[in-house]
């Protein structure tokens, strides 16, 4: 069976996250996207320690979509260097996996 992925990125606010989520689903790059608001991020950027409230976006897709979805996120993300990472889904219910595969292999309009 096709390998499924969780693709994650973080965005500065709910509006940016929701807009990107809708575009990912509309373009069939993700079957489902979940938004997790209220994440506290602490990181070093350009030599200083930063603290920000962010929204984490988690998209369910297939490994075949990795190149396309990561490029799409990069092009449509407000950050200069966005976090775009993926984790393989090692176990999933067969019906769910079939749905993700079907939703991400439909030709875009």
The count of domains in the chain is 1
Distance CA 73, CA 48 (A): 25
Report the sign of the C-alpha dihedral through residues 1, 106, 85, 13, in that order. Answer: negative
**7 in Cβ contact with 69 (< 8 Å):** yes
Please, is 104 exposed, middle or buried when counting C-beta atoms within 10 Å of its C-beta (0-12, 13-18, 19+)?
A: buried
Q: Does 79 have pLDDT greater than 70? A: yes
Q: The domain containing residue 52 runs over which residues?
A: 4-105
Mean per-residue pLDDT of the chain: 95
Identify the CATH number of the domain in which residue 68 sits: 3.30.70.120
What is the structure's pLDDT at 1? Answer: 61
Give the pLDDT confidence of 83-95 residue by residue, as tens digits: 999 999 999 999 9
Give the pLDDT confidence of 12-23 residue by residue, as tens digits: 999 999 999 999
Cβ count within 10 A of residue 66: 16
């Amino acid at each position: 069976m096709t390998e499924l992925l969780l693709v994650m990125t973080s965005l500065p606010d709910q509006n940016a996250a929701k807009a990107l989520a809708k575009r990912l689903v509309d373009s069939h790059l993700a079957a489902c996207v979940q938004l997790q608001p209220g994440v506290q991020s602490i990181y070093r950027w350009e030599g200083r320690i930063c603290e920000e409230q962010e929204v984490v976006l988690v998209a369910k897709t297939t490994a075949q979509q990795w190149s396309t979805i990561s490029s799409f996120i990069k092009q449509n993300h407000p950050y200069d260097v966005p976090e775009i990472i993926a984790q393989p889904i090692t176990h999933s219910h067969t019906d769910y996996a079939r749905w993700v595969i079907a939703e991400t292999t439909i030709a875009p309009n």
